[in-house]
Amino acid sequence: MAKELIMTGCRAAAEGAKAAEVEVICSFPIRPYTAIMMELAKMVADGELNAEFIHGEGEHAQLSVVLGAAASGARAYTGSSGVGVTYAMEIYSPMAGGRYPAQMAIADRTLDPPGDFGSEHTDAMCTRDQGWLLGWADSPQEVYDNTLINYRVGEDHRVMLPQMVCQEGYFVSHIPDKVILGDQSQVKKFLPPYRPIGPLSTTKPVSHGPQIRPDQGAPMDAMRAAVFLDVPKVIEEATADFNRIFGRNYDPFVDQYKLADAEIAFFVMGAHANTCRKAVDRLRKQGVKAGMARLRWVRPWPTHQLANALGHVKAIGVVETSTSYGGAMRGGNLIHELRASLYDLDQRPLVTSFMAGLGGETIWPADFDYMAKVLTEMVKEKKTKRYVYWIGM
Amino acid sequence: MQAFNYKFQQLEPLKSFKRVPVPEMYVPGHRTCAGCGPALNYRLVAKAAGKETIFIGPTGCMYVANSSYLCTPYAVSWIHAQITNGGAVASGIEAAFKVAARKGRNTGVFPNIIVMAGDGGSVDIGLQAMSGMMYRNHKVLFICYDNESYANTGIQTSPTTPYGAKTTFTPPGKEIPEGKVLFPKDPPQLVIGGHPAVKYVATTTIAHPLDLMNKVRKALSQPGPTFLHMLATCPKGWLFPEHLTKEMARLAVETGMWTLYEWENGTYKYTNVPKKYKPVNEYMKHQGRFAHLKPEHIAKMQAFVDEKIKNVKQAIAVAAPVPTARQKA
| Other CB atoms within 10 Å distance of the CB of residue A266 | 29
Q: What is the CATH number of domain B17-314?
A: 3.40.50.970
Q: Is the pLDDT of residue B323 over 80?
A: no
Q: Is the pLDDT of residue B126 over 50?
A: yes
The span from the CA of A187 to the CA of B88, in Å, is: 31
- The structural domains of chain B, with segments of one domain joined by +, span 17-314
Q: Is the pLDDT of residue B239 over 90?
A: yes
Q: Which residues of A touch B98 (CB under 8 A)?
A: 52
Phi, psi values for residue A270, rounded to 5°? 80, -160
Cis peptide before B28 (omega within 30 of 0): no
Find all residues with CB under 8 Å of B18, minimum gap 6, and list them.
Answer: none
Q: Which residues of A touch B85 (CB under 8 A)?
A: 60-61, 64, 90-91
User: Residues B25, B53: contact at Cβ < 8 Å?
Assistant: yes
Q: What average pLDDT does the structure give for chain B?
A: 94
Binary contact (A212, B128; C-beta < 8 A): no
Instruction: Read off the pLDDT of residues A359-374 as tens digits, 9 standing for 90 and up.
Output: 999 999 999 999 999 9
Phi-psi bin for A236: left (phi > 0), alpha (psi -120 to 50), beta?
A: alpha
Q: Which domains does chain A have, with CATH numbers?
A: 3-246 (3.40.50.970), 254-390 (3.40.50.920)
Q: Which of A57, A71, A91 sits opposite B128 (nearest CB)?
A: A57
Q: Give residue A284's pLDDT.
A: 98
Q: How far is CA B54 from CA B25, B92, B288, in A?
A: 11, 12, 37
Q: Give residue B196's pLDDT.
A: 96
Binary contact (B95, A94; C-beta < 8 A): no
ipTM, interface predicted TM-score of the complex: 0.96
Find all residues with CB under 8 Å of A90, minimum gap 6, and list them.
Answer: A60, B82, B84, B85
| Other CB atoms within 10 Å distance of the CB of residue A238 | 22
The span from the CA of B143 to the CA of B123, in Å, is: 11
Q: Give residue A370's pLDDT.
A: 98
Q: Give residue B322's pLDDT.
A: 55
Binary contact (A91, B82; C-beta < 8 A): yes
Is A214 near chain B, with CB under 8 Å?
no
Q: Is the pLDDT of residue B315 over 80?
A: no
User: How close, in Å, is residue A371 to chain B by CA atoms?
Assistant: 46
Which of B32, B99, B106, B153 is most worth mutating to test chain A (most A CB atoms within 10 A of its CB)?
Answer: B99
Instruction: Read off the pLDDT of residues B68-106 as tens digits, 9 standing for 90 and up.
Output: 888 899 999 999 999 999 999 999 999 999 999 999 999
Dihedral, CA atoms, B18, B223, B216, B235, nearest 10 degrees?
170
DSSP A359: G
Name the residue in chain B with its Cα closest to that of A216: B69
User: How close, in Å, is residue A55 to chain B by CA atoms?
Assistant: 8
Q: Is the pLDDT of residue B324 over 60?
A: no
pLDDT category at B329 given cuts 50, 70, 90 is very low
| Segment among A138-142, A288-292, B147-151, B324-328 with least mean pLDDT | B324-328
Using CB atoms within 10 Å of the CB of residue A115, give its burial: 0 to 12 exposed, 13 to 18 middle, 19+ buried: exposed
What's the rounded mean pLDDT across residues A210-237? 95
Q: Give residue B29's pLDDT.
A: 84
Find all residues with CB under 8 Å of A341, minimum gap 6, and list them.
Answer: A301, A303, A304, A306, A307
Q: Give residue B134's pLDDT.
A: 98
pLDDT category at B318 given cuts 50, 70, 90 is low
Q: How far is CA B168 from CA A121, A191, B179, in A?
A: 43, 54, 9
Instruction: Read off the pLDDT of residues B10-37 as tens digits, 9 standing for 90 and up.
Output: 999 999 999 999 999 999 988 999 999 9
Helix intervals (H) in A286-362? 303-310, 334-342
The bridge status of strand A163-168 relative to strand A133-136 is parallel
Binary contact (B56, A76; C-beta < 8 A): no
Name the residue in chain B with its Cα closest to that of A60: B85
pLDDT category at B310 given cuts 50, 70, 90 is confident
The span from the CA of A157 to the CA of B151, in Å, is: 39
The partner residues of A52 in beta bridges, in order of sequence, read: A24
The partner residues of A152 in beta bridges, in order of sequence, read: none
User: How close, in Å, is residue B140 to chain A by CA atoms?
Assistant: 13
Q: Give residue B2's pLDDT.
A: 55
Q: Give residue B79's pLDDT.
A: 98
Instruction: Read off the pLDDT of residues A86-133 as tens digits, 9 standing for 90 and up.
Output: 999 999 999 999 999 999 999 999 999 999 999 999 999 999 999 999
Binary contact (B100, A73; C-beta < 8 A): yes
pLDDT category at A392 given cuts 50, 70, 90 is confident
The bridge status of strand A52-55 relative to strand B53-58 is unpaired
Name the residue in chain A with its Cα closest to that of B67: A210
Using CB atoms within 10 Å of the CB of residue B4, give its burial: 0 to 12 exposed, 13 to 18 middle, 19+ buried: exposed
Dihedral, CA atoms, A252, A254, A257, A262, nearest 10 degrees?
-140
Q: Give residue B68's pLDDT.
A: 83
Cis peptide before B187 (omega within 30 of 0): no
Going across the sheet that includes A264-269, the strands are A254-257, A290-295, A264-269, A315-320, A350-355, A388-390
B-facing residues of A in 18-57 (CB < 8 A) are 23-24, 26, 47, 50-52, 54-57
Instruction: Read off the pLDDT of residues A165-222 as tens digits, 9 standing for 90 and up.
Output: 999 999 999 999 999 999 999 999 999 999 999 999 999 999 999 999 899 999 999 9
Q: Which of A51, A58, A73 sits opposite B128 (nearest CB)?
A: A58
Between chain A and chain B, how many beta carbons pairs sit less than 8 Å apart?
Answer: 159
Which of these, A62, A79, A68, lies nearest to A17 by C-alpha position?
Answer: A79
User: Residues A173, A33: contact at Cβ < 8 Å?
Assistant: yes
User: Residues A196, B92: contact at Cβ < 8 Å?
Assistant: no
Binary contact (A205, B52; C-beta < 8 A): no
Q: Give residue B69's pLDDT.
A: 81
DSSP B51: S
Which of these, B64, B62, B72, B70, lies nearest to B40 by C-alpha position?
Answer: B62
Which of these, B115, B118, B80, B120, lies nearest to A94 by C-alpha position?
Answer: B80
Q: How far is CA B130 from CA B83, B86, B150, in A?
A: 11, 7, 18
Percentage of residues of chain B with pLDDT beyond 70? 95
Using CB atoms within 10 Å of the CB of residue A75, give its burial: 0 to 12 exposed, 13 to 18 middle, 19+ buried: buried
Binary contact (B70, A212; C-beta < 8 A): yes
DSSP B161: S
Q: Which of A65, A73, A211 sits opposite B91 (nearest CB)?
A: A65
Indicate if the alpha-carbon torsion angle B274, B277, B280, B282 is positive or negative.
negative
Q: Is the pLDDT of residue B214 over 80?
A: yes
Percentage of residues of chain A with pLDDT beyond 70? 100
